[in-house]
Amino acid sequence: MAQQTGIVIVGGGIWGLSTAYHLAKLGQKHVRVLERNCELAAETTPQAAGLVGQIRSSATMLRAIQYALELFSRFPEETGYDTGLRQTGSLMVALTPARMEAYARQVERSRQNGIKAEFVSHAEMARLAPALDVSKVEGGYFVPDDGYVQPQQCANAYAAAARDLGVQIQLETHVTGLRLHNDQVLGVETERGFIESNQVVFTAGPWSGILSRKTGFTAAMQPIRHQRACTVPVSGIPEHHPVVRVTDVSCYLRPEKGGYLYGFFEPNPVSIDLDTMPADYRTQDIEPPVAVMTEAQRRLTPIFPILKDLEIAEYRQGMTTFAPDGSYLIGPAPGVDGLFLATGCAALGIAGSAAVGRWLAKWMLEGNPGEDLSDFAPERFGDRAADGAWLRREAEQFYANYYSIRPAE
């Protein structure tokens, strides 16, 4: 006999769990999350850096990040579960005059949008990040209300709050496809049997592409390797240490477990074709990023010389998904009534999780996400989405130039 539920969420990462929480918060009584692994948020979520920064070129994403900071801040009091938010700010470091000019435009735009952002002296930068060699720095600015969360802790907080509101979470359940009738969702097929539902959302990260193609729709996103490293603990890191973004070398750094976590947008991105991988392929199967992080260390060492002598305690084999324009893919899947899609996190999955969950919940329950998300429409690329070579090239280019100075700045 088929199991029944109101809404099925395929994928128990941070986007799926946020969606479950927001659906239940809006009063949906029957929500089920299906996760193929034996624990939640086991794939791309725990590999993330968890940065929550407000400097965005899109007003929609600015509001999304501000909602995340608001939700993460009040979550412990409202639900009893801590997202791990550390609101220590972002320090944006410039190594060149050209970057400082770009930063001047960012600061002005930020102020116009009500974001606190101020240029800071070299002495203040040294106070904020004592290991930073300010003699190598052109300048920088500070965004005091930014921060970061512990990604898995945040995901687990969503999950616990969702369970308290009645959400069912089913682990070790591999979804194999959808069952449709006249292009209307009837439910999901799993290795454990059929689950009946007239509304389904795919929040399976890089695997959402495989699932969506089974319905006849190609999601225009490319999985790309994105790696990080954590050093051994070291003395001297203050409690107020912010996230430091060294955009001229495509790197970022923050405190983690008494040491430093740093990440790197590779200039020659490595795409991952999940269609060619075994069915049981996992994020942990990505090759450990020793060479990649050696290059990141080389780029950061002139500014953070302490990194040269710090051993690596942990490598994080990550994977992100990029659309050709670097924007999310969120909304109803074309041609299938009752199916919603959320992927293309663009290395902004943790910070965007709060808004993504709220948008999807409102869309599924009220027929409207609450604001104009046409820029995120899954079908916006038309027939080009089926051109794998074009998709890969454009997505990789956006990733490689993530921190580049763009004319629009």
Environment class of residue 247 by beta-carbon count within 10 Å: exposed (0-12), middle (13-18) or buried (19+)? buried
User: Is-contact 130 253, C-beta < 8 A?
Assistant: no
Q: What is the pLDDT of residue 57?
A: 87
Tokens 């075994």, residue located: 278
Domain coordinates in residue numbering, the chain: 3-53+151-223+323-396, 86-147+224-318
Segments in the chain below pLDDT 50: 1, 409
Looking at domain 86-147+224-318, its CATH superfamily turns out to be D-Amino Acid Oxidase, subunit A, domain 2 (3.30.9.10)
Which residues share a beta bridge with 195?
Answer: 3, 188
User: How many Å apart are CA 56 and CA 62, to the nearest integer?
Assistant: 6
Count the neighbouring beta carbons within 10 Å of the beta carbon of residue 309. 9
User: Is-contact 283 36, C-beta < 8 A?
Assistant: no
User: How many Å apart are CA 169 and CA 24, to the nearest integer?
Assistant: 13
Q: Domain spanning 3-53+151-223+323-396: which CATH class is it, in words?
A: alpha beta
3-state secondary structure of 187: strand
Please report which helix (H) or strand (E) contains residue 269, including its range.
none
> For the segment 112-165, what is each residue's pLDDT rounded down to a tens digit?
999 999 999 999 999 999 999 999 999 999 999 999 999 999 999 999 999 999
CA distances from 147 to 30, 142, 295 (A): 34, 11, 26
Kindly state the tokens that stand for 300: 């950061």
> For the segment 12-68, what is each residue's pLDDT rounded down to a tens digit?
999 999 999 999 999 999 999 999 999 999 999 999 999 999 999 899 999 999 999
> For the segment 378-387, what is each residue's pLDDT rounded down to a tens digit?
999 999 999 9
DSSP classification of residue 147: E
User: How many Å apart are CA 361 and CA 329, to the nearest integer?
Assistant: 15
Q: What is the pLDDT of residue 4?
A: 63
